[in-house]
Copies of this chain bind each other. A is one copy, B any other.
Amino acid sequence: MAFDVLDILKRNNLSVTDSRKKILEIFQQAGGALDHADIEKKTGDSFDRVTIYRTLQTFEAKGIIHTIPTIDNSILYALCKEECSQGNHRDNHIHFICDNCNTTYCLNHIPQSVVQLPEGFTEKRTDIIVSGICNKCK
């Protein structure tokens, strides 16, 4: 666990700091997606709010985490899988958000070219967000 975290930071040429370690651990434990407020709660008040903003920005720029579109105002972040190496993102994940417990699941099931676009449109990225009830809440 701890090893993984250090590994991620080193692989991305980021210096190893408490906040970065902690936030990565939180993502690993959560498994799913988190927003800024989730992370703030889980860190207690160990870190400044601003540090969390900046850490998330850094991670996203490095391709360590990615954003998930949501229907409400929040920005969700989730750890990228190994395949999405920096600059070569293929974020065509499917995300499932439970209407009851609000957990976000990353489903690894990636459909092949679901969408038939009209003439002249070029696809670069596709996000699929499914909401409903998850297997724990049913």
Write the residues of chain A forming the contact surface with B, with a CB cutoff of 8 angstroms: 67-73, 75, 94, 96, 99, 107, 109, 111, 114-136, 138
By a CB distance below 8 angstroms, the chain B residues around A117 are: 96, 107, 130, 132
> In the assembly, how many copies of this chain are there?
2
Cβ of B131 and Cβ of A125 under 8 Å apart? yes
Of all chain B residues, which has the CB nearest A128?
A: B128
- What's the least CB distance linking A116 to chain B, in Å? 6
A69-B133 Cα distance, complex, nearest whole Å:
19
- What's the least CB distance linking A100 to chain B, in Å? 10
Cβ of A138 and Cβ of B122 under 8 Å apart? yes
A120-B101 Cα distance, complex, nearest whole Å:
14
Cβ of B129 and Cβ of A126 under 8 Å apart? yes
19 A-B residue pairs with Cβ-Cβ distance under 8 Å, sorted by A, are A69-B69, A71-B127, A96-B117, A99-B124, A107-B118, A109-B115, A109-B116, A114-B128, A117-B132, A119-B135, A120-B138, A121-B132, A121-B134, A121-B135, A122-B138, A124-B131, A125-B131, A126-B130, A129-B129
Cβ of A118 and Cβ of B135 under 8 Å apart? yes
Cβ of B107 and Cβ of A128 under 8 Å apart? no
